[in-house]
Amino acid sequence: MDQKIRGIFCDLLGEEKVLTEEPMSRHTTFRIGGPADYFLIPDTWEEIRAILKICDAQGIPFFILGNGSNLLVSDRGFSGAVIQLYRNMGELRVEGTRITASCGALLSAISAAARNASLTGLEFAGGIPGTLGGAVVMNAGAYGGEMKDVLTRVKVMTREGEILDLPACDLEMGYRTSIIKKAGYLVLEAEMELKEGDPEEIRRVMKDLMEQRSSKQPLEYPSAGSTFKRPEGYFAGKLIMDCGLRGHRVGGAQVSEKHCGFVINTGDATAEDVRRLMEYVSERVQKEFGVSLEPEIKFLGEF
């Protein structure tokens, strides 16, 4: 951490919005991760643009963070700037059948707003712990629904600070991917088009999906959600279970006994524990079934 650079960030954002040597374990659902050199909390698009310019001029790597629900941060932390776009950018508004939300709005909050407005189409998102920005980048989905089903437009910022307004037809959304991910754009805002629905039916569906999630997923433990992407023609959790790895541990990291598609933090797991467990699981699945497992979670820092 460089005091001069810290001063530049403080001049831009104010000291209360610039944290240094900030433990990333405080900002990920895994509850794992060493310190970030700079942890920045902008409130406006202009501040984001200015941060990107500073990082470019000073040669500082940066990472965009929502609520850290799909992320494993190295035990050594991150030598760069983490830019948090979460509650500081969580606005949303409902206009007729359209919902417009900022990148930091939680999917659960947007889904609840749709429910309260008797709008259907976002029931699947009620239990997804991520923010809108991350969900758009990776085309998040669950229980048969995906973000591409409801998105109409997305505002993004390029690494150079240019703001683009992209219609849904240009997003190239597929399984856990999009043009936004491929191009490295930063999501600022998204517009979703829903349909009028029966409020009681919407509530029933959301309640049913939440009960399914609670009964089948290890929500009582810190994790990053589904650890591996779904291999074509298979289910990662089933492959891992069929390898006899239910409950298998490395240090404080464990293949969930409740759902083998999840690696959980039993309380004192390190990032290295998780990495080693994921590597072992992948090797076993490859050996037993000839199927390659691709991580769904992101890795940040040196491993």
Write out pLDDT tens, residues 50-63.
999 999 999 999 99
In order of start, what are the domains of the chain with their CATH numbers? 3-87 (3.30.43.10), 90-216 (3.30.465.10), 236-300 (3.90.78.10)
For residue 223, give the 3-state DSSP assignment: strand
Provide the β-strand partners of residue 146: 141
Q: How many CB atoms lie within 10 A of CB 22?
A: 21
Distance, C-alpha 81 to centroid of its chain: 17
Any catalytic annotation for residue 296? Answer: yes
Q: Is 244 left (phi over 0), alpha (psi -120 to 50) or beta?
A: left
pLDDT of res. 215 = 87
Q: What pLDDT is recorded for position 2? A: 85
Strand pairing report for 151-157 and 78-84: unpaired
- Predicted local distance difference test score (pLDDT) of residue 224: 95
Q: Is residue 1 pLDDT above 80, yes or no?
A: no
pLDDT of residue 141: 83
Name the helix (H) or strand (E) containing 258. none
Is residue 226 annotated as a catalytic residue, yes or no? yes
Task: Give the model's pLDDT for residue 75.
Answer: 98
Question: Is residue 268 within 8 Å of residue 252, measured between CB atoms?
Answer: yes
Would you call 284 helix, strand, or coil by DSSP? helix
Q: Is 88 exposed, middle or buried (0-12, 13-18, 19+ CB in 10 A)?
A: middle
The pTM (predicted TM-score) of the whole model is 0.90
pLDDT in the model for residue 264: 97
Proportion of the chain above pLDDT 70, given as a percent: 100
Counting Cα atoms < 13 Å in the Cβ hemisphere of 137 gives 23
> Taking the mean position of all CA atoms in its chain, how far away is CA 34?
18
Instruction: For residue 31, give both structure tokens.
Output: 């509850």
d(CA 73, CA 61): 15
Residue 142: its pLDDT value, please? 82
Mean pLDDT of the 252-260 span: 97
In the annotation, is 232 catalytic?
no
* DSSP state at residue 49: H
pLDDT confidence tier of residue 93, bands split at 50, 70 and 90: very high
* Inter-axis angle of helices 107-116 and 199-216, nearest 10: 150
Cross-strand partners of 167: 153
Active-site residue (options: 25, 74, 102, 226): 226
Mean pLDDT of 11-23: 96
Q: How far apart are CA 194 and CA 125, in angstroms?
A: 13
3-state secondary structure of 150: coil
DSSP state of 89: G
